[in-house]
Structure 1
């Protein structure tokens, strides 16, 4: 493989008899972009799956003794194309129309080389790779979703309580992640989606009796799949 870093990493993993999924830089010559260079590439590829309400096209092949899969996300491709075209005017020294056309077939792609037991499907490989950033996602959720990266506490005991509350919140968030994973729903929902749905469920007191707010059948079915019962 021409990318020395990837090749060296693979050699080390193979020496230790370890399995791996490794992304490949788009400029690596081992990647076969020829199917995407065709005008009607979808008729050639014909294989796709849904991931978090996005369609991912993919095709598998072998080069230099390695198993490779190239994925294409349409939404990502459109975004990257637009971003590059906008940068031509801002950064003409590093971006140009010629370079744009050179990169056109690689926008929105992800190529991985892998060695795993069994015969994983392309979707399983894609989902496994996407899970690599679980730590980053958790930190992002901690900072942005839970807004727990800043504290103005000045009392030591209050600060310790604040940290403990955030720690428990992160445990709950991660449990949601695993329930979605076990139910094979990660391609459709993220933990924050479940939290947002939960915000609309509450108890109200009417004439001295507590009543649960209305829950749609779709939400009930979803919660049942991930073993959450708000009706108890």
Structure 2
């Protein structure tokens, strides 16, 4: 049977052309010896397609599989959200740092994946942020160089931070030390941390905007430097003057109070429950509501000073502490009766002349900052930094500071929509990460949005847009 030339060009060894009507079909075949018929026998192995003058049309199943082979899947939802809430951050970073892409992407990957440097390149390549912000250099070597360059440029760090500071009232908070295991870091000096461990450590001082609920400034201090001594330099460097120092329970001393007052800095300092300054016999004269629970408090002025003592009692926490104590002890003892009045209480000394509710709110803000800093330490794994020198440490902490700002951008979104009781910033990112972008042929298509993720988006009014970025 004579075949047209456009058919014959597909005849190759191991193939068979078959004609049915006016159509031609191509098969891959093999030959084996038929011992019964005593002759070679052809066996069809695979249907290869229909031959046309325009070429070979492969089977539909094969065409579909090839299409799937050409599909690229990238995480989209969380990348979109971080991109969406950071327009001003990216703009200011780009004006302050030539390496702004690497800084921003590293910060995003720290927040999304708790990613060490060695994994950033992988996460970047599998995230749609690589399409929004292309051509970033995020290999471990490139990031290491970026950290050193950024860390050396404290002036640009300050310029960036000052761009978001506009005369707010700030909480000054010194937080848990960052342990460093590199001999090249001079800033890490031996000192006691909050757990009374004598370890290499670096102290961080944060200024947190009360009106905008966000970290505004950070500074690395040697671990042995007292927080009061560092505040003056911090005020000069940051330009912030309206500062309230909210310390932890180990900060109180008469010397520290006098030094803060000499510098005209407001303060709220918690006291240990066994402090002799606390008078638990005072009546609980006033109260306010906090998270649907009443908080009772007493106050009195300390004679001869401008200082005020507040003791707050939360009966919900009191019941929890009593239950915990009795669970650990078989029966209510004299010791229990002696300390029972302390359960559920926190006492502070302050030179602010404001209501108990305002003092409590500021104190709670410190707790919120500490919890966010736990993200800084634990979720973002920044409490042990294996940096080679002070410059890399400074750059590393700046990247994590950007990640902390992004964390608070999502926190503010949750607060705005009254969703903090149901979701955390990490919850939101986890839900959003379930949205992917599929590259099919020459087009990007968004995957279906899971029901629970859509519920989060609707609650927070997150407008997923397919054509984002550059």
Please give the per-residue CA displacement for 1:149-177, whole angstroms capped at 9, x wherever unaligned: 689x9xx9xxx9xx97x975663343332
**Structure 2 length-normalised TM:** 0.33
Residue 300 of structure 2: aligned partner: 62
Residue 50 of structure 1: aligned partner: 290
Residue 464 of structure 2: aligned partner: 231
Matched residue SS, 1:200 = helix
Residue 334 of structure 2: aligned partner: 98
Task: Using the TM superposition, give the Cα deviation of residue 219 of structure 1 relative to its aligned residue in structure 2, in angstroms.
Answer: 5.4
Please give the per-residue CA displacement for 1:109-138, whole angstroms capped at 9, x wherever unaligned: 00111123xx54433322322344677545
1:205–1:9 Cα change, 3 Å: closer
Matched residue SS, 2:273 = coil
Residue 269 of structure 2: aligned partner: 22
**Structure 1 length-normalised TM:** 0.60
**Count of aligned positions:** 195
Residue 196 of structure 1: aligned partner: 427
Give the distance between the partners of 2:446 and 2:275, measured in 1 at CA.
Answer: 66
Residue 111 of structure 1: aligned partner: 347
Give the distance between the partners of 2:281 and 2:413, measured in 1 at CA.
Answer: 37
Q: Which residue of 64, 73, 81 maps to 2:322?
A: 81
Matched residue SS, 1:189 = coil
Q: After superposition, where does 1:2-13 map in structure 2 within 5 Å?
A: 6-13=253-260
- 1:140 paired with 2:378, answer no
Give the distance between the partners of 1:209 and 1:132, measured in 2 at CA.
Answer: 40
Task: Using the TM superposition, give the Cα deviation of residue 209 of structure 1 relative to its aligned residue in structure 2, in angstroms.
Answer: 5.7
Q: Does the 8 Å contact 1:72/1:108 carry over to 2? A: yes
Give the distance between the partners of 1:21 and 1:196, measured in 2 at CA.
Answer: 32
1:127–1:180 Cα change, 3 Å: farther
1:74–1:144 Cα change, 3 Å: farther
Matched residue SS, 2:424 = helix
Matched residue SS, 1:111 = strand
Task: Using the TM superposition, give the Cα deviation of residue 97 of structure 1 relative to its aligned residue in structure 2, in angstroms.
Answer: 1.0
Q: Which has the higher contact order (CA 8 A, sep 6+)?
A: 2
Q: After superposition, where does 1:116-127 map in structure 2 within 5 Å?
A: 116=352, 120-127=354-361
Give the CA RMSD over aligned residues.
Answer: 4.3
Give the distance between the partners of 1:16 and 1:169, measured in 2 at CA.
Answer: 30
Query: More strand per residue: 1 or 2?
Result: 2
Give the distance between the partners of 1:14 and 1:182, measured in 2 at CA.
Answer: 37
Task: Using the TM superposition, give the Cα deviation of residue 146 of structure 1 relative to its aligned residue in structure 2, in angstroms.
Answer: 4.3
> Any gaps of 5 or more consecutive residues in structure 1?
90-94
1:16–1:183 Cα change, 3 Å: farther
Q: After superposition, where does 1:138-217 map in structure 2 within 5 Å?
A: 138=372, 140-146=374-380, 168=399, 171-177=402-408, 180=411, 189=420, 193-201=424-432, 202-203=434-435, 210-214=447-451, 215-216=454-455
